[in-house]
């Protein structure tokens, strides 16, 4: 989906506006100041079109009044968006921070919609007109609180957002890898190791555009793009809000990648943060490789403990290829490429419809769905709607139980190779 970032300095009413756009389906605004929200991405719809909203309101309590940090955070959000909604408080007028943000917006060259918020009545529109001085074109007056003007703003948003489909990068060129994991797992060490021992491609490959934050490294005779390596190299300051920064960076990297290498620390217990990062990969629909780092530090006891933890905590991603590496010594780093290849191949897999239906027909005959209210939900037809990741649509004569869907997914995975890729199954019921 196309992505719209909502940026602006603290207290201009970004979250209220996001609420307005979402139609109050989500409670975004917290009453308690200082409460940070986890969610940053929201799915929105207007006039039949879906798009994603990135709300940057969640971190503002921690950075209020510090212009450069607001700008830095906005830059992250803008980087991963297709278009930007820049919110200014019409009652306050243009501040220094707003001017800083305008600079960031200019640099990004993304389409911008300037919104003058808190215009609750006609009088406010005069104040809104003063925002022409920002040099971002026409200011669109709105009252996020009362809804005044919000329909117009939504119409404008649709005009500046690209249609779905145009946002997906072309599959040509080197495959794109996101190296992610919590701080200190060894991301930058691994990147350095790979860059030192392999050819770093500096000349741009014909027909591909390179983002300056990426790095292209030749592994096994092929070029691979490691996305957002700048985010890895520029270490996150260990301050309040660092987790939030990290999760935005992870999301940004995932957005641009095809496959994620989640780095985990073999020497330490699998943490909730690790699981959250894996969840982000699953939600993004990217292919997944698990890499356990710092293997050089492992003793027998920890190794056994780790296997047990993996069994316990990572059973839901049992299908992900796993490599045990040491970024320090280089142990098994050559196993990364085969794992990436496997995951990407699964991610690209397309099962012909006839084969899919033959498979499901046999499966359902041998293992029918349990009776529901005396009726037998039957699978009528199935097709693979898309790849990257594979998504299957099953047409059924009745609702299919969750457990049965899981069973189908498991058998699909067993019969066709989907190692390293999420598999989505949706069911359409035709009564």
Report the binding-site residues for GTP.
8-15, 55-59, 117-120, 181-188, 228-232, 293-296
Pairing state of beta strands 3-7 and 83-89? parallel
Q: Which two structure tokens, joined as six digits, stand for 305?
A: 């403990």
- CB 306 to ligand GDP: min, Å: 14
Closest to ligand GDP by CB, 9 or 249: 249
By CB under 6 A, the residues from 318 to 357 that bind ligand GDP are 326-328
Query: Does the protein bind ligand GDP through residue 188 (CB under 6 A)?
Result: yes
Q: Which two structure tokens, joined as six digits, stand for 92?
A: 């306050």
Interface with ligand GDP (CB under 6 A), residue total 16
* DSSP annotation of 136: S
By CB under 6 A, the residues from 206 to 245 that bind ligand GDP are 232
Closest to ligand GDP by CB, 26 or 268: 268
Q: What are the two backbone dihedrals, phi and then psi, of residue 6, each rounded to the nearest 5 degrees?
A: -105, 115
Q: What are the two backbone dihedrals, phi and then psi, of residue 298, each rounded to the nearest 5 degrees?
A: -85, 135
Q: Which two structure tokens, joined as six digits, stand for 90?
A: 């019409």
Of all residues in the shown chain, the one whose CB is closest to ligand GDP is 186
- CB 182 to ligand GDP: min, Å: 7
One residue of 20, 69, 118, 187 binding ligand GDP per CB under 6 A: 187
Query: Does the protein bind ligand GDP through residue 294 (CB under 6 A)?
Result: yes
- CB 152 to ligand GDP: min, Å: 45
Contact 389, 405 (CB under 8 A): no
Cβ-Cβ contacts under 8 Å for 377 (sequence gap 6 or more):
369, 396, 397, 398, 399, 400
Q: Which stretch binds ligand GDP (CB under 6 A): 148-156, 182-190, 335-343, 394-402?
A: 182-190
Residue ranges with strand state E in 34-75? 41-46, 49-55
Q: Is 183 helix (H, G, I), strand (E, B) or coil?
A: coil
Give dist(CA 100, CA 65) in Å, integer. 12
264 membership: H or E segment, kind and range: strand 259-265
Q: 44-55 burial, b for 16+ CB within 10 Å, e for fewer?
A: bebeeeebbbbb
- Give 84's Cβ-side CA count (13 Å radius): 26
One residue of 91, 95, 189, 397 binding ligand GDP per CB under 6 A: 189
Q: How many CB atoms lie within 10 A of CB 272?
A: 9
Give dist(CA 378, CA 132) in Å, integer. 61
Query: Does the protein bind ligand GDP through residue 296 (CB under 6 A)?
Result: yes
- CB 66 to ligand GDP: min, Å: 24
Query: Does the protein bind ligand GDP through residue 249 (CB under 6 A)?
Result: no
Query: Does the protein bind ligand GDP through residue 293 (CB under 6 A)?
Result: yes
* DSSP annotation of 334: G
404 membership: H or E segment, kind and range: helix 402-415
- CB 213 to ligand GDP: min, Å: 15
- CB 262 to ligand GDP: min, Å: 11
Q: Which stretch binds ligand GDP (CB under 6 A): 125-133, 137-145, 180-188, 361-369?
A: 180-188
- CB 74 to ligand GDP: min, Å: 24
One residue of 184, 324, 384, 387 binding ligand GDP per CB under 6 A: 184
Query: Does the protein bind ligand GDP through residue 186 (CB under 6 A)?
Result: yes
Residues contributing to the site for ligand GDP (CB under 6 A): 181, 183-189, 232, 293-294, 296-297, 326-328
């Amino acid at each position: 989906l196309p992505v719209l970032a909502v940026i602006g300095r603290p207290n201009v009413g970004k979250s209220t506006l996001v609420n307005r756009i979402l139609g109050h389906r989500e409670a975004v605004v917290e009453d308690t100041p200082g409460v940070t929200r986890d969610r940053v991405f929201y799915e929105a719809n207007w006039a039949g079109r879906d798009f994603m909203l990135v709300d940057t309101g969640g971190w503002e309590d921690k950075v209020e009044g510090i212009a450069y940090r607001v700008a830095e955070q906005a830059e992250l959000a803008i980087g991963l968006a297709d278009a930007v909604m820049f919110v200014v408080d019409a009652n306050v007028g243009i501040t220094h921070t707003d001017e800083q943000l305008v600079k960031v917006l200019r640099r990004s060259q993304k389409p911008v919609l300037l919104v003058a918020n808190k215009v609750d009545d006609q009088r406010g529109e005069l104040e809104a007109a003063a925002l022409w001085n920002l040099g971002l074109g026409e200011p669109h007056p709105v009252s996020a609180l009362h809804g005044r003007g919000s329909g117009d703003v939504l119409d404008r948003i649709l005009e500046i957002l690209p249609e779905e489909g145009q946002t997906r990068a072309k599959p040509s060129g080197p495959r794109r890898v996101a190296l992610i994991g919590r701080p200190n797992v060894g991301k930058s060490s691994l990147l350095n190791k790979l860059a030192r021992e392999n050819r770093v491609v500096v000349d741009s490959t014909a027909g591909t555009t390179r983002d300056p934050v990426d790095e292209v490294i030749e592994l096994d005779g092929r070029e691979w793009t490691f996305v957002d390596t700048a985010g890895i190299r520029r270490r996150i300051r260990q301050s309040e809000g660092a987790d939030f920064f990290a999760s935005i960076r992870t999301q940004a990297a995932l957005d641009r990648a095809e496959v994620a290498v989640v780095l985990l620390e073999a020497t330490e217990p699998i943490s909730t943060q690790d699981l959250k990062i894996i969840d982000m990969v699953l939600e993004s629909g990217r292919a997944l490789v698990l890499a356990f780092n710092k293997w050089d530090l492992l003793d027998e006891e920890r190794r056994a403990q780790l296997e047990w933890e993996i069994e316990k905590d990572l059973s839901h991603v049992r299908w992900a290829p796993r490599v045990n590496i040491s970024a320090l010594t280089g142990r098994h780093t050559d196993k990364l490429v085969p794992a990436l290849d496997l995951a990407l191949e699964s991610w690209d897999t397309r099962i012909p419809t006839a084969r899919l239906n033959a498979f499901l027909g046999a499966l359902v005959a041998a293992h029918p769905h349990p009776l529901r209210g005396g009726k037998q939900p039957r699978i009528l037809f199935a097709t693979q709607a898309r790849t990257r990741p594979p998504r299957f649509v099953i047409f059924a004569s009745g609702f299919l139980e969750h457990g049965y869907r899981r069973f189908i997914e498991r058998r699909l995975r067993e019969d066709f190779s989907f190692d390293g890729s999420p598999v989505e199954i949706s069911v359409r019921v035709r009564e």
